[in-house]
Every structure is written in structure tokens, then in C-alpha cells.
Amino acid sequence: MELPPYATTGQRIWHYTFLVICGLIFFFLIAPIITIIPLSFNAENFFTFTPGMLALESDAYSLRHYRDFFQNPDWQQALSNSVRIAPAATLISVALGTLAAIGLSQGHVPFRRAIMAVLISPMIVPLIISAAGMYFFYSRVGLQGSYIGVVLAHAALGTPFVIITVTATLVGFDRSLTRAAANLGAGPVRTFFKVQMPLILPGVISGGLFAFITSFDEVVVVLFVGSAAQKTLPWQMFIGLREQISPTILAVATILVAVSILLLATVEILRRRSERMRGMSPA
């Protein structure tokens, strides 16, 4: 993207215009997320910057919306539900998804494409359709409105991500290592836990993080499959946005942005680690 020294004036103008356009697009991408962070410290019940905030007066800022989040029983109930549902769903997704990914990566799997299509389908089908189908079916079998129903639904939605990430990690897995382990007398279970698992762990963890975030962020399916007792954080935000919008939502949003930055960093570190372990690091 260096501008050559012999560029004409027209080319220069175009080059800088292009950079400005790209800058504006990046601004468009990131600004909405950044803007809500200061707004969440608003001392008033407004959704815009008060004159005091613009003048950087310290009493225009406050933590009252955060206090509300930690004291309001509705939000606390939602938080505890989210924290109870997402890890359980992630555990199921990771356990079943990792096994299946190992199975799928073996040389000779009959009907591989068809099996893959079925296993990936929860990611492909639009959420509203999954939600509708699950609502109909789960109410037939009595799982609608139950904790187990929501966990099963979220686990199903999360597995494709585990399969994709673990399969990608297994592509670089050297199968002669398991043979070497077997040759040295380790059984299949021991080989799996002592040799294969440590090597594909980064993939498993990042798949798990994807599954976790899928469940933690998910609102459409839980809206239909769950009942008021399973109200999760996104659900509470959805209600808040649709009915009486309160600045507490911005405080929650800011906390969630912090959580996603944390997750993004973890996934990135894991990805680099796994590339290094496979000797694929680009210098």
C-alpha cells in the first residue's frame, strides 16, 4: 500500500481518499461499540452525552447503572441463569463435538459428507426456524420451558463450532504420534489423553469458547424454548430494549464488551500457540 515516489497528483489524491474512506468504514465498525462505554457511566437517565459529560465534569459521570445491574433482582436472576446454562451447554458440545471431530478426521468414514451436513446443520438453519421447530417439538415431549430443554437446545447450536475448530486442528495432527504411542504400549484411551488431547487442546478450547459465546449470546431460541424461569442475560436485554429501555442495558453491554475482548484475546493466543506447536508459525 506504499505510494510510489513517482505517483501523479491524481494518484496521490485517490490514495488518500481511499485511506479516508477506509478510515470511515473502520469508524463505522467500531464507533457504536465504543460510544456506549462512556454513555454507560452517565449520571442521568439519558441516552446521549449531557453537557456535563462533554465538559468532562466528574459529577456528570457515575456508576449508578452498574450499581443497578448488581442490585436489581431481575438482572441478577438473568445473570445467574446465563451462568448456569452456558457452561452446561458448552460441556455437552465440547465432549460430543470433540469425539465426533476425531471420528470424522479418520481416513475412511462412510457417508462423510452426509454426516457432516447433518452435524453442521444447526449452524446453517436460521435461528428463528430452529427456535420454531424446537418450540413445537420440545413442547410435545415436555421439555419446553425447562432448564434441560434450553441446555440441550444450546448444546445443539454450539456443536458445529466445536466440530469446525477441532477438525481444523486435527488437519495438522501427525497421526504417526498415536502410532508411536501405541507401539510403546499405550492403550487407545491413554494415547488419547496423553498424546492427542494435549496437542489438539488449543482447538478444543477455542471451539469451546465459540460454543460458550453461542449459548451466552443466544436469545432467539431461549425466547421460545425457555420460560420466564430460564430468562438469560440477552433475553433480559431484549425485553429491556423492546419495552422500557433503561441505561442499565448500556452498563450490561459494556460489561459484555469487556468479556468479548477477553474471549477474543484468548482465542487469538490459542490460535497462535497451536500454529507454533505445529511449526506453522509465519515467522
Pick from 13, 16, 18, 281 the residue near other proteins by CB under 8 A.
18
Q: How many residues bind other proteins, per CB under 8 A? A: 91
Give the Cβ contact number of residue 101 at 10 Å: 24
- Smallest distance from other proteins to CB 122, Å: 5
146-205: contacts with other proteins (CB under 8 A): 152-153, 155-156, 159, 161, 163-165
Question: Please, are residues 248 and 68 in contact by the beta-carbon 8 Å criterion?
Answer: yes
- Smallest distance from other proteins to CB 161, Å: 7
Block residue for cell numbers 515467522: 283
Q: Is 56 in the site for other proteins (CB under 8 A)?
A: no
Non-local (6+) Cβ contacts of 133 within 8 A are: none
Q: Is 79 in the site for other proteins (CB under 8 A)?
A: no
Q: Is 224 in the site for other proteins (CB under 8 A)?
A: yes
- Smallest distance from other proteins to CB 1, Å: 5
- Smallest distance from other proteins to CB 238, Å: 6
Name the nearest CA neighbour of 67 among 283, 255, 276, 263. 255
Strand partners, 42: 61
Residue with Cβ nearer other proteins (125 or 229): 125
81-120: contacts with other proteins (CB under 8 A): 92, 96-97, 99-100, 102-104, 106-110, 115-120
Residue with Cβ nearer other proteins (88 or 100): 100
Segment lying near other proteins (by CB under 8 A), choices 55-63, 64-72, 193-201, 233-241: 233-241
Segment lying near other proteins (by CB under 8 A), choices 18-26, 61-69, 179-187, 194-202: 18-26
Main-chain phi, psi angles of 61, to 5 degrees = -105, 145
Question: Please, are residues 90 and 215 in contact by the beta-carbon 8 Å criterion?
Answer: yes
Residue with Cβ nearer other proteins (123 or 277): 123
Question: Please, are residues 267 and 206 in contact by the beta-carbon 8 Å criterion?
Answer: yes
